[in-house]
Amino acid sequence: MTMQDRPDTRKVAVLVGALFLIAMAASLLGAGLIDGVTTAPEFLSRISAEKSQVIMGVFLELINGIAVIGIAVLMFPIFRKQNEALGLGYVAFRIVEGMIIVAAIITPLGLLTLSQDYASLSAVEAATMTSIGNLLLVVRTHLYSQMLGIFFSLAALIFYYLLYRMWLVPRFIAIWGLLAVVLVFSWNLLELADIHVSFGMFMALPIILNEIFLGIWLIVKGFNQTELMLDSADTIMRPA
């Protein structure tokens, strides 16, 4: 029986594709809503006035964290037939990625707390609260611009490698993904080394487009017709 013929595998492909699109939309929209407030001058006053926007951003980022873990859980039964160790590694890196996203959510929630009654504080108290707020923003920046990218890249390298080896999607998608991940990984390594890259978002654009394309492909086309051995000890071997 081919993978395309298996209704459960077809359902997995649709769910994974949907989660990729949900994760991408939630990540971009959530970060946009939060950063649109926290990067403004007098951000604590702005946060107090735009509380609903911040809460919506937090909710979307939480959805992103759940979605990335969901992708790994759904893909593991398929990946384990090729390489169980790599499949487990993929799940582990995705879980860490999800935990980093949740940790980053704490920052805007902390800023919401600090912003309460900010307008009524004395100048000294307001300066203290602003300093604490700036520290929280530094933590969020570190989590998102460095730690999150590293674990995302490690997970994605495994993901696209296994897609390539198993022929689950056309190989140009897997190769595109691998090359795009290398760009993101390089960007994050440079940031860890305190080398700021002004065009970093352009380095991330290929993976953004790839995940959107992959999500649509999985929903419309599903996985390729690849034989899956029901015995978990068997692996799929294809010529390179």
Buried-exposed string 206-226: b where 16+ CB fall within 10 A, e elsewhere: bbeebbeebbebbbeebbbeb
* pTM of the predicted structure, to 2 decimals: 0.84
- Separation between Cα atoms, residue 20 and residue 59, nearest integer Å: 17
C-alpha 24: how far from chain center: 7
Q: How many angstroms separate the Cα of 151 from the Cα of each of 57, 147, 179, 181, 188?
A: 22, 7, 16, 11, 10
pLDDT, tens digit, 9 for 90 and up, residues 116-169:
766 666 777 778 888 888 888 888 888 887 789 899 999 999 999 999 999 999
Q: Which residue has the higher pLDDT, 47 or 226?
A: 47
Secondary structure of residue 196 in the 3-state scheme: coil
C-alpha 111: how far from chain center: 23
Cβ pair 76, 95 in contact under 8 A = no
Q: Is 155 exposed, middle or buried (0-12, 13-18, 19+ CB in 10 A)?
A: buried
Cβ pair 61, 105 in contact under 8 A = yes
Q: Is 126 exposed, middle or buried (0-12, 13-18, 19+ CB in 10 A)?
A: middle
Residue 182 has a CB neighbour count (10 Å cut-off) of: 16
pLDDT, tens digit, 9 for 90 and up, residues 72-110:
999 999 999 889 999 999 999 999 999 999 999 988 888
pLDDT, tens digit, 9 for 90 and up, residues 170-179:
999 999 999 9
What are the start-end ranges of the E strands in 23-176?
none
